[in-house]
Structure 1
Amino acid sequence: MTRRQRASLYARLSVAADAGNMSLDGMIADMRALCDREGLEVLEPIHVDDGKSGGFRDRDEFQAWLDDARQGRCDVLVNPVTDRLTREGLNVAASILDVVEGKDPATGRPAHRPVRLVDCNGLDSLHGDGFRFRFVIQAEVGRAERERIRQRSRDRARRLRQAGRWGGGTPPFGYRAVPNQELNDEGQPRGWVLAIEPEEAKHVRAAAEALLLADPVPLTRIARRLNAAGVKPRRAKEWTRQTLTKVLTGDHIMGRSVSNGHPVRDDEGNILTPWPAILTPAEVMAIRATLAPNPDAPYSGGRRPARLLSTLLSCSGCGDTLQVFQRKSRTQNPEPQIGYRCATRSQGGTCESPVSVSAVQAETIVTDRYLSAVSAMPMIVERTIVSDVNELATVEAEIRSTVADLATHADTETFAKLQRLQARREELSSGEPTWRTEMVATGKTMGDYWRGALVDDRRELLADAFQEITVLPGQRGRKIVDPERIQTVWREDSHSNDYA
């Protein structure tokens, strides 16, 4: 008895598949009917890529379908419509033909038994040259159709941006998509626009103000503040230097619409600002300058301090800074003992009376002493105001955009435009953003701020408040640290008279 040929079936539903598309059940039914007419045995399971784009060849079930032929598990490859196998055109069509003809794609030599390829529209590899011509043409038709769809999507998004509307997708951090207040003839909103998300915008402003201080807060610390507050970025799991930099230096934050990394312009070449700005162009320009790499600047990685009093405690015997140490407990308590100690002798120096102290107890004493003096005081922060030199900021944006254009349009006109912009920047250089600072009440008390602050922010408050924190020798064998062992000297500019 002759063995029935085995057929491996494959169907693909595109990302945009809906009720108007060919149904999966319908495609499978058509392929089974074809196999019944041809007397083919259907291999199970049937390979289906649901919601996968034909523009990529690394679809799991598509590769498994071809592997059925490569590994000799089937004699016939069946699909509903051949031009849906791939949207890459000749590139993938050639690789499929190699599988059908049993060739090694690297050498062209025979690698496995040839198979038959057939679809429900009458395409059949048994038809010789006619099949090859039709197969290649259909593959290219599929590629061209995909390119037309992509171009229509790009054109639609560009038109929406030029009309001041949001084209869809995830809104940038600090904004939310809302229905347009402008209505069409049917009384429906004309698409969507971006509006400021107040809570997120507040965090953007706070991060910008921290970077615009005379002594900028390290970017990594700002990211840790956001993570500690439970603020989530749009796509990443948590804030990093990179995600925060993109938000603070991007064009979206200035209310600008962006396409392919460049600000969208009107017919006269002006940059469009269709939604409200969170930061001004001058502020963004100043932040970009602050974050620009500077090989001559001292390293300030913003690393988290090991403990609250790291580098703040000094030894009464030699004046050197105490270092954090950890050792195993000598009692049944499995928790290690963490403290601060003088390391002068271990480093070859001389100290007449080296000291050590429990980290937890020392931190509690200093914290209580600090908060008892300042907890009820209003929290006042320094805020930097950047003058809004909009033209200079706009010229800088134009220069960046023109330099990027040179990669694809390195012609005389583009070079001339760059030269004009650079000349204009020189003219405006005397009007670079000016900075001024002011002290602003936050509406919180120092105690409120302390309770929500990171360890490094708390440590900075202590460093600003105390000129010296000196640890005196303790009594041998005593487990409780005497508060008198820790001597503190308030800074003269920290309102010490008010604290007393």
Structure 2
Amino acid sequence: MRRSKHFILPSAPPNTVTLYVRLSSAADETNMSGEGMMNDLRKKAARLGLRVVGEHLDDGKSGSIRDRVEFIAWLDDVRECRASHMMAWDVDRMTREGINAAAMILDVHEGKDPHTGAVVRQPARLMDISGLDSNDGVGFRIQFLVKAEFARGELERIKARSRARAARAKAQGRFLGGQPPFGWKVVRLPIGEPDPETGAVSVGAFLAICDEEAAILREAARLCLASVDEETGQANLSMVVRFMNGPDGMKPRRAKAWSRVTVRQVLTVTPTAAREDVLTPDQRAALRRALEVRKPDARKGYAGRKPARLLSGLLWCWSCDTKMQVAHRDDPRYPGGFITYRCVNAYSAGGTCEHPPSISAVALERFFEDRYIGAFGDLPYYVRRAEVTGAADVEFAQMREAAALEALSLAATPANFEELQAAQAARIVAEGIPQELVVHLVPSGRSVAEQWDLEDVHGRRAMLETTYSVRVLPGKKGRPGIDPARLQILENAPFVPDSKNAGLYVPGCLVA
């Protein structure tokens, strides 16, 4: 006679509950809703005769992030059989990822192993404050999934409205919010014309100069320019940082002290929402040159945020129509590792790309270099030049001002300051003469191939940027080299210089 097997699943102590609350914005004196929501959950638990064994609150965490510390701890209370009930304020407090994260929560509620789907412990009752209850059977699952997807859609709508609002504010030159940059303060000024019916005037946030902080920035700029080395053209940034952190400087608003990065930023960047600059345009230009990062970062391929590879930003995934990114993989067969271009959405955004392509960066770059030089290499390389009719002195004055700015960036001497002022005055007088701007394309005396040899990776990328747009399809395993059938190439025709479209020409690029 066969004996039936009977397994007793682990279970939590009866009538125990763990509570979860999430705040989208961090709690402060104006946002006390977290404690209010937690009190409501405690009251409901008391009405049901449940003993609270865990309380979890994620403060200022987005519901689109599933590895929130307290959210995971809330689920662990059930996974580790500390609570037989799980209760949250609402589904949108649990997640805004939709079905993706809802499935994870349901696995915990149903006592299932997330890998095999087998039931490994007693299920836990899942509830929220508004009546959602897992004891309602099939109706609960439908309601839970609908609420989860609605929360995801609501988050997408919030993001879209925020992007549209930010775009409108940026177009109007308004301040987008947050802490104003050092040297500026937020002021509210009228926007547009008064309403014809009510006479009301819309106002918006803008940046105005903060006199006290601006005085410190101007002194820091003078010190920085005075420290420029005549041979290298670089300023002594460490000395400026010491000044900003010293008794004659001023501490930043939030950080404990200034760093080289933050000092370089406030001296070289003008906020877009600023109605006027703390420093003159000449000072900004000289500071940018004097504080330019000269040592390339091997991890980025170049100092700063410029593209690291020849085709960065020029390749698109054929499946999800997003730009492809550079990826590095350690491989002993390739010195320095194996480098590819791959779909961004294949490894982020939840892996949403269904058929993500990946292609060898080195082989593809060699393919396009050969294609570009083969097609256009023998053509003359043109540069864009502007001539002003009716004011012959304008071009000379502009060249003189550029030379004065360059000299000032190398050495901030009184003589160079005087020359810059004289050059600016000459330019202003010349530009006051009635004139017409005419754009010409002038042969550089070099071919496209010769110009290519003179450029670094960023200059070469600029030459390719308006010539090619490429969509990459998945390839076949084991096939070496680049299969042209994988590439959907949009290629502009070679540029033929004439007066009709000379104004569209961009230096370093061939256009249709």
Of structures 1 and 2, the larger Rg is shown by 1
CA contact (8 A) 1:31 1:80 kept: no
CA contact (8 A) 2:78 2:86 kept: yes
TM normalised by structure 2 equals: 0.50
Give the direction of change, closer, same or farther, for the CA distance of 1:111–1:282 in structure 2 (3 Å limit).
Answer: farther
Give the direction of change, closer, same or farther, for the CA distance of 1:109–1:169 in structure 2 (3 Å limit).
Answer: same
Deviations 1:276-302 (A, max 9, x none): 012344543333332334469xxxxxx
CA contact (8 A) 1:210 1:217 kept: no
Inter-partner Cα distance in structure 2 for 1:146 and 1:423: 48
Correspondences of 1:264-283 after superposition (within 5 Å): 275-283=275-283
1:195 deviates by 0.6
- 1:191 corresponds to 2:204: yes
Counterpart of 1:77 in 2: which secondary structure? Answer: strand
Inter-partner Cα distance in structure 2 for 1:144 and 1:433: 56
CA contact (8 A) 1:116 1:126 kept: yes
CA contact (8 A) 2:21 2:57 kept: yes
Amino acid in structure 1 at the alignment position of 2:258: W
1:226 to 238, 241, 244: 244
- 1:10 corresponds to 2:10: no
Tell me what 1:242 maps to. 261
Tell me what 2:287 maps to. 287
Deviations 1:457-481 (A, max 9, x none): xxxxxxxxxxxxxxxxxxxxxxxxx
Inter-partner Cα distance in structure 1 for 2:282 and 2:59: 48
Counterpart of 2:19 in 1: which secondary structure? Answer: strand
Give the direction of change, closer, same or farther, for the CA distance of 1:111–1:410 in structure 2 (3 Å limit).
Answer: closer
Amino acid in structure 2 at the alignment position of 1:236: A
2:152 to 143, 151, 154: 143
- 1:115 corresponds to 2:124: yes
Tell me what 2:43 maps to. 32
Tell me what 1:207 maps to. 220
1:173 deviates by 1.4
1:47 to 48, 56, 81: 56
Correspondences of 1:462-481 after superposition (within 5 Å): none
Amino acid in structure 2 at the alignment position of 1:225: F
Counterpart of 2:21 in 1: which secondary structure? Answer: strand
Gaps of 5+ in 1: 258-273, 297-398, 416-421, 441-500
Tell me what 1:152 maps to. 161
1:189 deviates by 6.9
Give the direction of change, closer, same or farther, for the CA distance of 1:280–1:113 in structure 2 (3 Å limit).
Answer: farther
Deviations 1:183-208 (A, max 9, x none): 96676771222111123222322333
Give the direction of change, closer, same or farther, for the CA distance of 1:165–1:72 in structure 2 (3 Å limit).
Answer: same
User: How many residue pairs are counted as aligned between the two chains?
Assistant: 307
1:24 deviates by 5.1
CA contact (8 A) 1:66 1:99 kept: yes
Q: How much identity, in percent, do the aligned residues show?
A: 40
1:71 to 56, 80, 86: 80
Tell me what 2:170 maps to. 161
Inter-partner Cα distance in structure 2 for 1:43 and 1:237: 41
Correspondences of 1:405-420 after superposition (within 5 Å): none
Counterpart of 1:191 in 2: which secondary structure? Answer: strand
1:225 deviates by 0.9
1:226 deviates by 0.7
Gaps of 5+ in 2: 1-12, 297-306, 317-321, 325-371, 373-381, 388-394, 417-512
CA contact (8 A) 1:54 1:87 kept: yes
Give the direction of change, closer, same or farther, for the CA distance of 1:113–1:410 in structure 2 (3 Å limit).
Answer: closer
Inter-partner Cα distance in structure 2 for 1:234 and 1:209: 22
CA contact (8 A) 1:10 1:62 kept: yes
1:4 deviates by 4.8
Amino acid in structure 1 at the alignment position of 2:216: H
**What value does the CA root-mean-square deviation take over the aligned residues?**
4.4
Amino acid in structure 2 at the alignment position of 1:226: M
CA contact (8 A) 2:40 2:129 kept: no
Amino acid in structure 2 at the alignment position of 1:218: N
TM normalised by structure 1 equals: 0.51
1:171 deviates by 0.7
Amino acid in structure 2 at the alignment position of 1:288: R
